[in-house]
Structure 1
Amino acid sequence: MESQEDLVIDIPKERMRFFGGAGKMLLPSPATVATLIEKVPEHNLITTRLLCQELTNQFKVKGTCPVTTRKAVQAIAHDPTKKVPYWRVIQANGALISRLPGGVDGQTTLLRKEGFVVDRKGKVAKVKNFRERLVRFH
């Protein structure tokens, strides 16, 4: 079960290498992640990495837990009461996220409605030219 509030904790020793040393790390709540996703305009995308970077900047911490962020995106996507455009969140390499409602097929359908081209030829479905459509908050 995800926390309903944001938590700022000390980076665990086993994660210090990933975050580049000691400091504070954010465990974002689904509400905080949803607020950020809602700022992504139609016809634009955000990667899970960019979500973490933006949250890190907002909370002035050393890093944001990518696992907690991904779980928050999944919780948002699977909550039928939320009207958050979760399908605009993709992986850092442009790949779609299979754990969203409808899997890759569901995300492909929603992205195509916004004019994105999804390449399904390789092992992983990816948004073509996704870098051109990434949202910039600063």
Structure 2
Amino acid sequence: MVGKWREKLEREYPSHGKIVGILIPKPMDLDSLIRTVPEGYLVTDEQLRTELARRSGADVACSKVTGIFLRICAEAAEEDRAEGREGITPYWRVISKDGSLKPKFPGGVESQSFRLKGEGHQIVPGGGKKPPAVKDFQHALVDIGVEPQTPVAIVNVE
């Protein structure tokens, strides 16, 4: 006797065709995008994924892989800093879509917060498991899809 779950598993279903074209980005493409973010401005990880997908003709960029490569960009930048290189990738300018900081960046949210404060941003404390966030971050976001880089708004430096 075949069980109900086995019947469902073996049943013929119609093909749904292509559902979505997912980009697996290249780390250097992500690094290059991050380098376009000027001092005092921010970009979200979602903006980065959207722009990577747009440039490649994909529907979306894989969030998991982009997150892994974002960490690689950050760690490589810190290696460059330790070796005395200038012009490192400003990974600390990348925030989550809700404005929160990235706990997996080198030095954690403390280091990212320190760098962002140094560029004029205000940081609001997190609560519970929620990391700190940039206050009014929307005003500092850049439009990375425009060449040359055009800021959306100017950061209020106090």
Pairwise TM-score range, normalised by the shorter structure: 0.7 to 0.9
* One-letter identity of the residue aligned with 2:138: R
SS in 2 for 1:43: coil
Q: Tell me which of 26, 38, 45 is aligned to 2:35.
A: 38
TM-score scaled by structure 1? 0.81
How far residue 23 of structure 1 moved from its aligned partner, in angstroms, is 3.3
How far residue 81 of structure 1 moved from its aligned partner, in angstroms, is 2.3
The corresponding residue for 1:48 is: 45
**Structure 1 Cα separation of the partners of residues 74 and 23 of structure 2:** 21
* Larger deviation, residues 34-43 vs 78-87: 78-87
The corresponding residue for 1:22 is: 19
* One-letter identity of the residue aligned with 1:86: Y
The corresponding residue for 1:116 is: 121
Choose 1 or 2 for highest CA Rg.
Answer: 2
SS in 2 for 1:104: helix
**Structure 2 Cα separation of the partners of residues 71 and 27 of structure 1:** 11
The corresponding residue for 1:128 is: 135
Aligned residues: 118
Could you list the per-position Cα deviations for residues 13-49 of structure 1 after superposition, in whole angstroms to 9, with x for gaps in the alignment? xxxxxxxx62321111211100000011111100010
How far residue 121 of structure 1 moved from its aligned partner, in angstroms, is 5.0
- Off by >4 Å, runs of 4+ in structure 1: none
The residue correspondences of 1:55-134 to structure 2 (distance < 5 A) are: 55-79=52-76, 80-81=79-80, 83-123=88-128, 124-134=131-141
* One-letter identity of the residue aligned with 1:134: L
Could you list the per-position Cα deviations for residues 69-105 of structure 1 after superposition, in whole angstroms to 9, with x for gaps in the alignment? 1111100111112710000000000000000010010
**Structure 2 Cα separation of the partners of residues 121 and 135 of structure 1:** 24
